């Protein structure tokens, strides 16, 4: 079966994104938990950007109460304000999307 243009476009995008994803993983606190995750860091970042526009300034994967107990946590700066977005690392569900208080974690 010959691959469609859509299949080739997806493959090309994944190939080009791989170095960026590897670089992102190097900047991930708690990377030791990555083997437990069902959702990739790239997918979690995309989900976080769906619910909060802006620039990711910090990221980690951590064990924390709520959802499956394993989550990606992103600090996202948008219009001068800092937000925390939590994405369940096993289901991809949004667990948190709130403005950071005066004493962020």
Q: Which domains does the chain have, with CATH numbers?
A: 5-99 (3.10.450.40)
pLDDT bin (cut points 50, 70, 90) of residue 24 is low
Q: pLDDT (tens digit, 9 = 90+) per residue, 52-65? A: 999 999 999 999 99
pTM of the model: 0.73
User: What pLDDT digit, counting tens, does each position of 25-55 carry?
Assistant: 567 999 999 999 999 999 999 999 999 999 9
Tokens of 105: 């974690």
Q: How far apart are CA 34 and CA 70, in angstroms?
A: 10
Question: Quick one: the chain helix, strand, coil %, rounded to 5?
Answer: 35, 30, 30
């Amino acid at each position: 079966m010959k691959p469609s243009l859509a299949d080739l476009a997806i493959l090309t995008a994944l190939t080009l994104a791989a170095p960026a994803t590897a670089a992102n993983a190097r900047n991930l606190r708690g990377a030791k938990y990555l083997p437990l995750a069902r959702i990739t860091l790239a997918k979690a970042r995309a989900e976080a950007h769906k619910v909060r526009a802006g620039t990711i300034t910090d990221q980690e994967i951590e064990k924390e109460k709520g959802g499956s107990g394993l989550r990606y946590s992103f600090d996202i700066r948008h219009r001068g304000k800092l937000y925390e977005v939590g994405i369940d690392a096993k289901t991809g569900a949004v667990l948190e999307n709130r403005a950071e208080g005066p004493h962020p974690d």
